[in-house]
Structure 1
Amino acid sequence: MAHSIDPVVDNWYQHLDKGQRFRVVAVDQDGRTVELQHFDGDVEEVDFDDWYQMAIALAEPPESWAGATDIGNADDFGTEVTDTKAGDWNEPLKEFKTPRK
Structure 2
Amino acid sequence: MADWMRDLAVGQWYEMGQGPVEVIGIDVDNEVVLVQHFDGELEEFDFDAWMELRAQPIAPPEDWTGAMGCTREEVDDGVSDVPRAGRWDSALDILDQRLN
Q: Which segments of structure 1 move beyond 6 Å, counting only runs of 4 or more?
A: none
Percent of aligned positions that are identical: 28
Corresponding residue for 1:78? 77
Q: Post-superposition shift, 1:73?
A: 3.6
Alignment-mate amino acid for residue 13 of structure 1: Y
Q: 1:61 to 1:79 in 2, by over 3 A?
A: farther
Corresponding residue for 2:22? 23
Q: Hey, what's the Cα distance between the residues in 2 that align with 1:25 and 1:81?
A: 31
Q: Hey, what's the Cα distance between the residues in 2 that align with 1:5 and 1:43?
A: 22
Is 1:92 the counterpart of 2:88? The answer is no
Q: Hey, what's the Cα distance between the residues in 2 that align with 1:94 and 1:30?
A: 43
Is 1:11 the counterpart of 2:12? The answer is yes
Equivalent residues in 2 for 1:28-43 (5 A)?
Answer: 28-43=27-42
The number of equivalent residue pairs is 85
User: 5+ unaligned residues in a row in structure 2: which ranges?
Assistant: 84-93
Q: Post-superposition shift, 1:72?
A: 3.2
Corresponding residue for 2:90? none
Q: Post-superposition shift, 1:32?
A: 1.0
TM-score (norm: length of structure 2): 0.67
Larger radius of gyration: 1
Q: Hey, what's the Cα distance between the residues in 1 that align with 2:99 and 2:25?
A: 43
- Secondary structure of 1:31's counterpart equals coil
Larger helix fraction of residues? 2
Q: Post-superposition shift, 1:74?
A: 3.7
TM-score (norm: length of structure 1): 0.66
| Bigger relative contact order (CA 8 A; separation at least 6) | 1
